[in-house]
Structure 1
Amino acid sequence: MSGKIVRIAELEIHPAQIDPYRALLAEEIEASVDNEPGVLMLHAVAEKERPEQVRILEVYADQKAYEAHLRTPHFLKYKEHTADMVKSLRLIDLDPVMMRAK
């Protein structure tokens, strides 16, 4: 997994904005995974009892792919349109121990 960028984004969304936020997030994730070879995985989940608490597991091929992602039109649109929806954002860099998917 050497060189890969892995992180979790912890977000708190304004409760009245959950549905529009989710729509914008889904659009951004689809565009990123479909169009950016360096975006290896984006998984978004929300707590069942607190749907305003969103977590995104992000995996990028390397630092260059992550930096390119930040400059894409779809990511910039997502950031601009969700700026007032997000109450808090915390990015946590991770050291992958074991990751598998089927």
Structure 2
Amino acid sequence: MSTFALVVELELKPGQKDAFLARARTHRETVLAQEAGCERFDLLTPEEAGDTVFLYEVYADQTALDAHFETPYMKQYLEDTGPMVASRVRRLCTLANG
């Protein structure tokens, strides 16, 4: 079984970063508390990109990742943050640590 990382790059609309991060932190806490298959969930803010945020999430397997997207709190998070986001790029990666 492979471990998957989901890397999401979000370009936020101007002035939305604080509100987005507050909502994303709450979502992160919920995911880590509710989903045994989520092994890591980090919010990253690059120094050089003011309105960009990265999410780095590690899931035990594809089943855990699929289940994550079906939770009611994930759907609510996307609804809540959608108006704050100018663009979103998701990359699914297989951990290759060896």
Normalising by structure 2, we get a TM-score of: 0.90
* Cα deviation digits, residues 36-94 of structure 1 (max 9, x gap): 10111111111123231111111111111111111112211110011111111111122
- Structure 2's unaligned 5+ residue stretches are none
- Structure 1's unaligned 5+ residue stretches are none
Structure 1 CA distance, aligned partners of 2:21 and 2:10? 12
Map 1:33-44 → 2, pairs under 5 A:
33-44=32-43
- Report runs of 4+ in structure 1 exceeding 4 Å deviation: none
Q: Percent identity?
A: 30
Q: What is the DSSP-based 3-state SS (H/G/I as helix, E as strand, rest coil) of the residue aligned with 1:58?
A: strand
Structure 2 CA distance, aligned partners of 1:56 and 1:94? 13
Aligned residues: 98
The match for 2:8 is 9
Please say if 1:46 is aligned against 2:45.
yes
Structure 2 CA distance, aligned partners of 1:7 and 1:38? 13
